[in-house]
Structure 1
Amino acid sequence: MTEKPTESVEAFRARARAWLADTMPLRDDARPPGFTEDDTAEWERARELQKLLYAGGFAGIRFPTEYGGLGLSQAHQKAFDEESAAYELPLLLNLPSFAICAATLLDTGSEEQKRERVGAAIRGEEIMCQLLSEPSGGSDLAGLITRAERSGDDWILNGAKTWSTSAYAADWGLCLARTDWDVPKHQGLTMFLVPLKGTEGLTVNRIRMVNGSREFCEEFFDDVRLPASSVVGAVNDGWTVASRQLFHERNAMGGASPYVSGRGTMRVTPHPTPLDIALSRDRADDPLVQELLGEYLALRTVHEQTVGRVSRAIGTGALPPASSSLLRLLYAEVQHLGADNALRIAGASIGVGSGPQPGIDGRAGVGFLMRQGASLGGGSTEIARNVISERVLGMPREAAADRDIPFRQVKRGN
């Protein structure tokens, strides 16, 4: 990544502080929990805010200058995050558009794809998403059956994807498809950039989750035609692209992505922590509550320190890129413990929002309902444990009946 700090961190911080105060609206922490049926306005707002950042010279802080970013250091990004904490930012765009999709294109895309797609995202003109999981695939991403077949110079895409975060709001999707059925499953895949607006043969449906959100989607491809320029990386080398994409996803989930700007990735105020719940009830002096708080705060601190340590080690080559799964796993453990201990401190009122501060209780209740999401996003925690054991610790690989045989011969379903 190009890194050209042209001004000191202190000067950058001072410039950001003044610009934020003059330009950006303050964050509204009083917003109610939950999601609206029609959130089009929120996505349009995110685009507007990103355009403001770009016009002010604060968009794409860690992205290379040749693709529209500033090419600055992580210290510059941290300074901006600290100064912007009180302001409304386009956090919706952090995941998956910047931290995963744009980052993957930087590593594996063509010069044209990087200039056009990454540049447009930084300018606030386009949003990207991932099209990876499939209805029949479970955690076996390489076992996907969405297919792309040549038609002259084009490709024809058929199949289905699911659990695609924010696909309904995105302009482009990174879609992994099978292009060769006569080689082992990892070798016959190709990554494509698929336009999601007005594409003939493409259907996008939204999926309602337990918290009322409809941010996940399912997609159906019926003879969707794509030009040869849609291929990311090389034909039949899509697993290389997907592996890099999963690295960025685990980094993002673990809190170590250099491409996230601002604090957070969600549209709503973050779920209250156990400390927030304890303070709202004036129970911080209760010995049992202190034990629950200590357990949570200690694990959160371990995660925060591990993010820096593992990120530095990956950067120097002391640890392999697969070590990002450590951060992804720790993130899930912190989220689970936070939701569980918030519930233990709040008691039954968390379910109905009837405590001394109903707004906090309501958000904590939603947080508990969604706790398992931390086990699934970025690949399941079970997969993370496998990756750590096999690729970081060097333990024997898990047995696989479909290894090294042509995918056409792999038995599926019944």
Structure 2
Amino acid sequence: MSISVEEFRVSAKAWLADNMPRIEDRDPTLDDPENDTASWNRTRELQKMLWNGGFAGIAFPSEYGGLGLTPEHQRAFNAESRPYELPFRINIPTLSICAATILDMGSEQQKRDRIGGALRGDELMVQFLSEPRGGSDLAGVTTRAERDGDVWILNGAKIWSSGAYAADYGLCLVRTDWSVPKHAGLTMFLVPVHADGVTIRRIRQVNGSTEFCEEFFDDVMLPADAVVGEVNGGWAVASRQLYWERTSMGGGSPYVSGVGRGVAPAASRPLTDLARSVGRLDDVKVRELIGESRANHLVQAALITRVGAGLAGGHLPGPSASMTRLFHAETDWRDSDIRLEIAGSAAVTGPTGEVGELFLNRQAGSLGGGSTEMARNVISERVLGMPREPAADRDVPFKDVKQGRA
């Protein structure tokens, strides 16, 4: 497909106006945590609408269901799509992390099946990375897979998987060799979420949401073609996955269906509207806060553009994506604080009570996609070249690494 960015923009603008629902007409009950299943069903429906209209997977290669266009074409579509209801919940992690990782590291069949399934709105994907006992040491996973003839038998547990209950497949990092150092004995698998032996439990958060899940794998049978990349080469796949996670959390992914992450309305509502609703729009201090937020978002947009260009042109190393991820977290944090300061006591009462609920979930921005502390470590060590922190388990066979209490 050959079309200029401007021609594509004009085409997208006309199609969106004729086919996609306006954001102001969106059913507000879909934002209720208790109505989560309906929200996911709506996400699939909207993605199918994009697919049928020829605007799904704009920057994904055409052989896997996309349009084969550039990130600039995707950004043009994003700009025109802002007034419309779009399937934002499919962006993270299905399209911008999981499908992007499979595009880079998966087999031809995995690319055709999983990327195509996601773009059609038929499938959702999730990440099975963190473990209950693992903390931030992703390479220290103990969920294991053992070969039994032509199949692998999976056992263990994962946690903090966003939307796992609604997904169809999960990218699952497990240990397949205990005789080598921790990074060398890992393998990435594509696990059918609802396969026999997989148990999913939803975790209720302080704001009432049950989006996060924990998973238990009991003798789950996986075929050989479930391996993504190479056996015992899972760290290379995980590293690429983390790159796309940081890129998407920072707002720089070219593989999304419109701009947005499916965040709560309170997080996207203009601060001027909030200030006006509580009668403080003329307050000089409030205007300064609104200006501060605006400046942060302008800097964030410029940072995304600069880092994205640097990564695409090879001028910046891959870990530089952590810079956009870190700044995104800091901006989200500050916005939550500013909203609370503007709303005052109204943050927990009346129509602006959602501001207080949003503040309860404030820390999420510093944890999703890896903690801000991890992002700072990545930037310091892998971008700035500062000395790495010492690690007692480096180059030690994982079976000899002490687990749990000494």
TM range (shorter): over 0.9
Please name the residue that 1:111 is paired with. 108
Please name the residue that 1:265 is paired with. 261
Please name the residue that 2:67 is paired with. 70
Please name the residue that 1:221 is paired with. 217
CA distance in 1, matches of 2:347, 2:266: 16
Letter in 1 for 2:84: Y
Tell me if the contact between 1:50 and 1:59 (Cα under 8 Å) persists in the aligned partners. yes
How far off is 1:233 after superposition? 0.3
Kindly tell me: are residues 376 and 140 of structure 1, through their superposed partners in 2, closer, same or farther at Cα, counting changes over 3 Å? Answer: same
Q: Give the root-mean-square deviation of aligned CA atoms.
A: 1.6
1:279 to 273, 276, 283: 276
Please name the residue that 1:60 is paired with. 57
1:405 aligns with 2:396: yes
Letter in 2 for 1:397: R
How far off is 1:29 after superposition? 6.0
Please name the residue that 1:362 is paired with. 353
Please name the residue that 2:248 is paired with. 252
Moved over 6 A (4+): none
Tell me if the contact between 1:189 and 1:237 (Cα under 8 Å) persists in the aligned partners. yes
Which structure 2 segments of 5+ residues have no match? none
1:196 aligns with 2:193: yes
How far off is 1:269 after superposition? 2.4
Kindly tell me: are residues 32 and 365 of structure 1, through their superposed partners in 2, closer, same or farther at Cα, counting changes over 3 Å? Answer: farther
Please name the residue that 1:185 is paired with. 182
1:378 to 369, 380, 386: 369
Please name the residue that 2:122 is paired with. 125
1:12 aligns with 2:8: yes
The 3-state SS of whatever aligns with 1:239 is helix
CA distance in 2, matches of 1:276, 1:383: 35
| Count of aligned pairs between the two proteins | 403
Tell me if the contact between 1:253 and 1:331 (Cα under 8 Å) persists in the aligned partners. yes
How far off is 1:24 after superposition? 1.6
CA distance in 2, matches of 1:309, 1:362: 37
Question: Percent same amino acid at aligned positions?
Answer: 60
1:350 aligns with 2:347: yes
Of 261-270 and 247-256, the range deviating more from structure 2:
261-270
How far off is 1:344 after superposition? 1.2
Superposed CA offset, 1:56-111 (max 9, x none): 11111110001000011222212211222122111111110000000000000000
Please name the residue that 1:148 is paired with. 145
How far off is 1:206 after superposition? 0.8
Of 40-49 and 301-310, the range deviating more from structure 2:
40-49
TM-score, normalisation: structure 2: 0.96
CA distance in 2, matches of 1:132, 1:35: 27
Letter in 2 for 1:77: Q
The 3-state SS of whatever aligns with 1:149 is strand
CA distance in 2, matches of 1:273, 1:332: 19
The 3-state SS of whatever aligns with 1:39 is helix
From the two aligned structures, give the one with the greater helix fraction. Answer: 2
CA distance in 1, matches of 2:270, 2:236: 38
How far off is 1:34 after superposition? 5.0
CA distance in 2, matches of 1:336, 1:10: 35
CA distance in 2, matches of 1:362, 1:16: 36
CA distance in 1, matches of 2:16, 2:294: 31
How far off is 1:48 after superposition? 1.6
1:289 to 262, 286, 304: 286
CA distance in 2, matches of 1:243, 1:276: 41
Letter in 2 for 1:50: Q
Kindly tell me: are residues 30 and 37 of structure 1, through their superposed partners in 2, closer, same or farther at Cα, counting changes over 3 Å? Answer: closer
Of 248-257 and 294-303, the range deviating more from structure 2:
294-303
Please name the residue that 1:237 is paired with. 233
Letter in 2 for 1:111: E
1:94 to 87, 91, 96: 91
Please name the residue that 2:300 is paired with. 303
Tell me if the contact between 1:192 and 1:231 (Cα under 8 Å) persists in the aligned partners. yes
Kindly tell me: are residues 65 and 30 of structure 1, through their superposed partners in 2, closer, same or farther at Cα, counting changes over 3 Å? Answer: closer
